[in-house]
Structure 1
Amino acid sequence: MATVWVNGQVSEQISVSDRAFTYGDGLFATMAVDAAAQIPFLSYHLQRLQDGAARLGFHWQASAALMSLLAQAASRFPAHCLKLQLSRGTGGRGYTPPVEPQVTEVLSVSTLPAHYSKWRQQGITLQTSVVTLAKQPLLAGIKHLNRLEQVLIKRYPLPAGIDDWLVLDTDGKLVETSMANLFLITKTAQGGWLALTPAINYAGVSGVMRQQVIMALLAMGIDVQLQAVSRDCLSRVSHLFISNSLLGIVDVTAVDHYRYQPWPLSSQLRQNLAIQL
Structure 2
Amino acid sequence: MFSGTKKMASACWGPVRRYVRMNRDDSAADGEICTDDSLIWSRDLEKHFLGEFSFAVVQANELNEDHSQVETGHAATFIGVYDGHGGPDASRFISDHLFLHLMRLARDRGTMSERVLCDAISATESGFLNLVRRTYAIKPAIAAIGSCCLIGVIWGGTLYVANLGDSRAVVGTLCQPNKIVTEQLTREHNASMEEVRQELRSMHPNDPHIVVMKQGVWRIKGIIQVSRSIGDAYLKRPEFSLDPSFPRFHLPEPIRRPVLTARAILAHKTLTA
Question: Scaled by the length of structure 1, what TM-score is found?
Answer: 0.28
- Choose between structure 1 and 2 for higher RCO, CA contacts under 8 A separated by at least 6 residues: 1
